[in-house]
Structures are given as structure tokens and as C-alpha cells.
Amino acid sequence: MPHTPFQQHFLWGASTSSYQIEGALHKHSRGDSVWDMAARVEGFIARGETAETACDHVARLDEDLDLMAELGLKAYRFSIAWPRVIPAGVGGVSEEGVAFYERLVDGLLARGIEPLATLFHWDYPTALFQRGGWLSPDSPRWFADYAALIARRFGDRVKWWVTLNEPQCFIGLGHELGQHAPALKLPLDQVLTAAHHALLAHGLAVDAVREHAAPDAKVSLAPIAVVDFPASDEPADIEAARRGTFERCEGQTELGVTRMFNSGWWFEPVVRGAYPESFMEQWGGVRPPIASGDMDIISRPIDFLGMNLYHGRRVRAGADGEPVEVPDRVGAPTTTMGWPITPDAMYWMARFFHERYELPLVVTENGRAVADEIDADGRVRDTQRIAYLDRYLRALGKSIADGADVAGYFAWSLMDNFEWTHGYAQRFGLVHVDFDTQKRTIKDSGRWYASVIQNNGPTASIDAAKADA
């Protein structure tokens, strides 16, 4: 095997989420979620598409497990649909729903694939939303009870856990901008209330995993890593990028500007036990409703940092050392989502977060959307995706060589899926899905990623990776 900066037991995996692939929305006594609720609003999802079938993963589980084995995955990150296992969010358990995840976990282990379970990837039970959702002071306890159930049922087999996925999205886009479910446009004080309750839910879920899972279980959360990276190697630019990464209190998404789209609000209280005071000053003194003991719960010790990283913002140091964005050149390539391609963000993310928090990192999502097509010979030649993954992985490897502690990398996504408000138009998968027939086809990127896993890192001889991203 060629020399590689990645550790011997590096977690090479791929990620999915329950709502985006499972389908079977009305099977196993599954309850309604806020995304089901939002999808019924005309115009909320592009072309009126729904996740009713999605990738039909519930019905095609064994086929999908075999695909993972064919790709040589060492690990698989999936999410559990809260309303599939507890239809009303609290109370009665659907044993049919639990049994599906039993089959999934056991099938992974039988194929030598490490399961990483995410407890919440946005499919909040509608029944609880109608009782206040994340705004309710009871919401952390509702989530803790759900987490305890899952930890009791699966803690003997699942060693890696993520509590919440991308709170910037389900709080910022879902409760501030109204562009994701549950489609609320709340004033800042209520947004911060929902955010605070979500972080309390995270802390209580950490407790549940500690109590019910195996002693060697590892637990974290997986926010978006909102990263500034320096336009040069000048110390002033590096320091400006570091400041921007942790001190910038609002950010731009493809859907608009939300004050929740940042790194500091989510990582600082979890790792350091306090919200950034400078953020609240910039927000006019509006604060979350912090009760005695709350920050102790939120900052329960975690074992790693889950990081979802797709792109970053290039900055230079301004007159006072503040980060000033350096726009991309005109015509710079983007993904079909319109996201910039910035592999340097991967290097600096790993470096900045390792230096600041001194915890191992796991890249829980990274990938790009491509307008994939199946060629006449049946292949999907997605060279743009290969080039993207190659560049980001090389940047990650460089950060490891320079001292960052990185334990794993999960490509987004295992397969093409239901991409939220975009419906089925955006394809992120290593595996192509024909949504009319549900036929799976491993793309060239999937074959390439299999070679990366086999070699414990990208090699220098991959011609496809030379394609212009």
C-alpha cells in the first residue's frame, strides 16, 4: 500500500439521511414529520415532488447493503427517523420501525461495515411540532427519551453516534428564513429559543448514549463547518480567516442570509460551555433563555467533532485585521447547486478546529452535486465529482500531515436522493438512482472512491482526478 497520511484504521464511509432515501412514509406505523407537512404546501418542493418513495431504501435494504460492500465502505453514516420508531414523537414505539433499523445495523456489521447512527436529520415529528416543537421547553426531554430508546436498542452494536445534523439548517432555514421545514419565520428571540432547546437536546442525548450504549461509544453532533480560509499564507490573512471562522455570526446560504449560519454559535457552547458574547452584542443584546444548569448540559463532553464541509469563503486581512472576502474570479466553477469549489477550506477547517478545540475530527459530509447522466454503455462518467473529491481529500490529507487529528471521512452521498426543496433535481450520489425504476448504477466516482478506500487515500495515478472541476 502506498504511503498515506491517513491513519491505519481511518473510517472511510458514505452518508445518507432517513427522509432522503427511505420512502415508505406510510409504512411501519410511521408518523408524520414536519417535512411531510411542508411538502403538502403547494410550491414548497420543486415540481411538487415528494419523498413518498425516494430511493425505496426500506424495501431495497439488502440490495443497498450489498452496494456498500461492493464499494468497500469501512463505515456508513445513516440517520434514524424519529417518527418511524415513535410515531407521535413520544409514547408508543413502532416495533416494525425499530425492526427496520435492526436489519440495517445487523446487515452492516455482517458485511464488516461500521455503523454511525445520526439521531436527528431534520424529520421532526409533526405531532410534537403541534405541541410547540423546538420552541417548547419540553422538547429537549422529548428528544432525550427518544435518544434513550435508540441507545438502549442499538448501543450494544453501534459505537459511533451523532445527535443532531446541521442545526444551522433546521433552525436557521427552518425557523428563521422559513425555507426549510417547518417553514417558520420567527423573530430572533424565538429563533434563539429553538436553537437553545436543540442544543439542550444534544446534551441530554449525549447523556443517554453514555448511560445506555457501550462504554467505548463515541458521540458528537454534526453542524456545518462554516469556514473562512486565507487568500495567502501571510500570517495576517491566516489570522483573519481564523477570526472569521469562529467570530462571524451570520452567513450566506444559497437560500439567503441567516444569523444561525455560523460555526461559533454551535461549537463554542458545546465544547467551551458558553455562547459567544460578541454575537449577542451584534444581535442587539437578544439572548437565549438560559436556565441554571443549561450550559452544563449543553457542554457534556463529546469524543470528536462531526464536520459537514462543502465549501468556504476566501478572505484577506482588512485594515484592522478583520476578514474581508476575496470574491472568486468571474467564471470560476461551481457545483450544480451553485456552491463554490474550495478545497482549501477543507485544509483550513481541519487545522483551525483541531487547534481551537483539541478534539479528533470526523468529516461527516462532503461531496458535490453534478448533472449526472447514464451513457449509452451504462456508465456514469462523473469526472467532475471525482476531481472534487480528490482535491478535497488531498487537502484533508495535507492537514493531517500538518498535525490535524482526523479519524474519518464520509462522502455525501451514498446514492442520489430526495434533495429537500430541490426534489430530485440535484444528484450527489456515488451511486446513480433511476427514480422511475429504482435501478442502482455505481458511478465512476463510486469505483474511484472504492480505490481510495483500498489504498487508504487518493493515489497520484488517477487520471480522472485531473479533470477540470
Task: Give yes or no for a contact between 163 and 219, defined as CB atoms under 8 angstroms apart.
Answer: yes
Which sign, positive or negative, has the C-alpha torsion 239, 243, 245, 248? negative
Residues with catalytic function: 166, 365
Looking at residue 460, what is its pLDDT? 58
Going by DSSP bridges, is the β-strand pair 256-258/251-253 parallel, antiparallel, or unpaired? Answer: antiparallel
Assign residue 420 a region (left: φ > 0; alpha: ψ between -120 and 50; beta: otherwise).
Answer: left
Closest CA to 23 of 13, 36, 14, 34: 36
Looking at residue 2, what is its pLDDT? 66
Alpha-carbon distance of 413 to 139, in angstroms, equals 29
Assign residue 7 a region (left: φ > 0; alpha: ψ between -120 and 50; beta: otherwise).
Answer: beta
H or E element in which residue 119 lies: strand 114-120
What fold, for 11-466? TIM Barrel (3.20.20)
DSSP three-state, residue 236: helix
Looking at residue 383, what is its pLDDT? 97
Q: Cell numbers 420552541 label which residue?
A: 135
Alpha-carbon distance of 381 to 393, in angstroms, equals 20
pLDDT in tens, 303-362: 999 999 999 999 999 999 999 999 988 889 999 999 999 999 999 999 999 999 999 999
Closest CA to 432 of 410, 452, 413: 413
DSSP three-state, residue 61: helix
Looking at residue 269, what is its pLDDT? 98
Closest CA to 6 of 451, 405, 419, 415: 405
Query: Domain ranges in the chain?
Result: 11-466
- Cα distances (Å, whole numbers) of residue 372 to 200, 412, 429: 40, 15, 9
In 138-243, which ranges are E strands? 160-165, 218-222, 228-230
Alpha-carbon distance of 443 to 373, in angstroms, equals 10
Give the number of residues written for the chain.
Answer: 469
Assign residue 217 a region (left: φ > 0; alpha: ψ between -120 and 50; beta: otherwise).
Answer: beta
Closest CA to 148 of 212, 222, 239: 212
Looking at residue 1, what is its pLDDT? 57
Q: What is the Cβ-side half-sphere exposure of residue 397, based on CA atoms within 13 angstroms?
A: 17
The C-alpha cell that represents 102 in the structure block: 435492526
**Other beta carbons within 10 Å of 359:** 18
Closest CA to 247 of 211, 282, 221, 214: 282
Task: Give yes or no for a contact between 52 and 27, defined as CB atoms under 8 angstroms apart.
Answer: no
Which sign, positive or negative, has the C-alpha torsion 465, 376, 446, 331? positive
Going by DSSP bridges, is the β-strand pair 11-15/406-412 parallel, antiparallel, or unpaired? Answer: parallel
Task: Give yes or no for a contact between 240 and 317, defined as CB atoms under 8 angstroms apart.
Answer: yes
Closest CA to 39 of 52, 22, 23, 28: 52
What are the residue ranges in the chain where pLDDT is below 70? 1-2, 460-469
Closest CA to 303 of 414, 186, 159, 193: 159
Closest CA to 16 of 69, 79, 67, 73: 79
